[in-house]
Amino acid sequence: MEYGRLGGTGLELSSIGLGCGNFGGIGSAPELFGQGESEAEAFAIMDRAAAAGINFFDTAASYGGGRSESWIGNWRSERGAPVLLSTKVFWSVAGDPADRGLSRGRILRELDGSLSRLRADRVDMYLTHEPDPETPIKETLRALDELVAVGKVGAIGVSNVDGEQLEEALAASDRHGLARFGWVQNEYSLLRRDPERDVLPLCAAEGLGFTPFSPLCGGWLTGKYRRSSPFPDDSRMALRGEPYSDLVNERTFRGLERFQAAAADRGVAPAELAIAWVSSHPQVTSVIVGPRRPEQLDAALEATEIRLSEQERDELAELFA
């Protein structure tokens, strides 16, 4: 396992991070709280990740209705493993659609809940999960700055933003002398390349890290979805496929066939090549993967051994053009 500096935060992250969004649910979806991996299954995945040298676990207060954080806390308490904690704030832990956002009071309250579930005095990495158009960015940043100042939070990051939102937040931090976002966590894969337009260039210009999630695009880049077959019962498309519904078309399937052939030519699995493609971007610090079983981590670990040149990255991307 290789390790790299997360922007200017001073944190050293493994090149693969463990995404815990399926522990006790499927992300923040209230209708799926209690589904996903059981606590025993989550423990097995965390054991495998720690043994492989993965040194940070990424979760959110709302994942599984708080189950993800609680199970990570239980695991840390039982195992005594020194992993970096990364969690997020925005959505409701109870699934209440009215209880969300990034107001000062809510951030302070939600972090205390996260710390209790994680059985921790502080989190190393704290992110805003979504932009909040109803709360001024200055108010959000002041609350985060306060948490950094009292030692409850190590570094702050931002997730699911576009370039304009990121630029506004950085400018507000500089203008008011507040803690700055040190990295961005957005979806990025061969099938989701929006960050290349404005976020990744801005990260490079501002010295920010980038920790992309969903490098396999909900399983699409593993080869599990085929045009003539129903989606597997336990797959992301079967459980919560709405975010990827736009991919169900002939163009995607043709691109996937070309990509699978390219992986076969290299003697690697499609999942390994897809993760390697994301990891090989020069701005990427660590790729967050969310395995459903311990053995699914193997593709991410194998991907760390694959080196792609800029030309090879472009050629693979062109398969989906």
Q: Tell me the sheet residues that pair with 5.
A: 12
Greatest Cα pair distance, the chain, in angstroms, is: 56
Read off the tokens for 205. Answer: 């210009």
Helix (H) or strand (E) holding 126: strand 123-128
Q: What is the DSSP string of 29-85?
A: -GGGTT-SB-HHHHHHHHHHHHHTT--EEE--TTGGGGHHHHHHHHHHHHH---PEE
Alpha-carbon dihedral 277, 282, 283, 289, rounded to 10 degrees: 30
Active site residues: 63
Burial of 31 (0-12, 13-18, 19+ CB in 10 A): exposed
Q: Hey, what amino acid is at 301?
A: L
